[in-house]
Structure 1
Amino acid sequence: MKKPQRDITLRFLAETQDVNFGGKVHGGAVMKWIDLAAYACAAGWSGRYCVTAYAGGIRFVAPIHVGSLVEVLAKVIYTGKSSMHIALEVNACDPKSLNKRTTTHCIVIMVAVDQNGQSELVPQWIPESEADIKQHDTAMKLMEMRKKIGEEMEIFVD
């Protein structure tokens, strides 16, 4: 059996339709790219159709300019029964210089589902390297934090 694909990189040029009123790439466009990469990564790992269950910790570190070469790197850092925690990093550069800089990073949780929208089992990811173990441990800590944040957010739900 073929080993699941743990990571993926999407590359493309930022286009004029991605620009906000300030002349930089709109945060919503970046979030769309993140969601696309998270889906491609999760589908590659699970071999299933996947849906976004959570996106959080999004940090917009630096702007992206129109014409920039954009890379969205996604990789599995934790798996549950049907969920996959995907770490994402967005880098951008002038395609003439290729001097990359990180612009955005976050975590997205994807869930594998069948044609009826019911969750399906995914292959377990087992960390191997020291970096993998640190990322896995961080994913576990973030799960606990999200539970607490979710409890606090209940006040805003009718």
Structure 2
Amino acid sequence: MSDRRREVTLRFLAEPGDVNFGGKVHGGAVMKWIDLAAYACSAGWSGKYCITAYAGGIRFVKPIHVGNLVEVTAKVIYTGRSSMHIAIDVQASDPKELKNQLTTHCIVIMVAVDETGQPTDVPEWVPQTDEDKVLRQSAIRLMNMRKEIGEEMEAHVKYIK
């Protein structure tokens, strides 16, 4: 699988159009960057068009300032039949100092689809290092927790009309 790309990093400057009312980069802009990186990573791994199925556990750790150099790193940490779990880290720094600080972290699940929009198989990712094995186990635990949360949320959906 040497032609598969497991990790990708997008780099750019945070622009004035990304700012919120508080003068920092808007969380919605960060979420867009996360989705772009997740797509680039999943398409690079699968060689197929991919769609976002889930984005969760988003932690905004520190603000991003206009003019910061932003790095959004996406890495495959688990694969299912058609899905890929992508760990995302967003880091930012003053471009004059280049001292990256973690600003945001989350997990995104992408699904590869065929020309008709139906899920299609993706290559299996097999962990090679101890760190990879820990990340894979974490993805599996999170998958089980999401299932429980989904079942619990069904009770709420029944009563919303």
Bucket of the pairwise TM-score, normalised by the shorter protein = over 0.9
Q: Which residue of 2 aligns with 1:145?
A: 145
Match of 2:55 in 1: 55
Q: CA RMSD in A?
A: 0.9
Return the alpha-carbon distance in structure 1 between the equivalents of residues 130 and 2 of structure 2.
24
Taking the TM superposition and a 5 Å limit, the aligned residue runs for 1:38-117 are 38-117=38-117
Q: State the SS of the aligned residue for 2:84.
A: strand
State the number of aligned residues.
Answer: 158
Write the distance in 2 (CA, Å) between the matches of 1:2 and 1:74.
18
Deviation at 1:2, TM superposition (A): 4.4
Question: Identity of paired residues, percent?
Answer: 70
Deviation at 1:151, TM superposition (A): 1.1
TM-score, normalised by the number of residues in structure 2: 0.96
Q: How far 1:115 moved relative to its partner?
A: 1.5
1:17 aligned residue: 17
1-structure distance, mates of 2:123, 2:102: 30
Give the Cα–Cα distance (whole angstroms) in 1 for the partners of residues 102 and 40 of structure 2.
20
Instruction: Tell me the equivalent position of 1:36.
Output: 36
SS in 1 for 2:53: strand
Instruction: Show structure 1 runs of 5+ residues with no match.
Output: none
1:65 is displaced (CA, Å) by 0.1
Could you tell me how far 1:155 is from its partner in structure 2?
2.8
Alpha-carbon distance in 2 for matches of 1:154, 1:127:
34
Mapped to 1, the partners of 2:50 and 2:156 lie a distance apart of 28
What secondary structure sits across from 1:87 in the alignment? strand
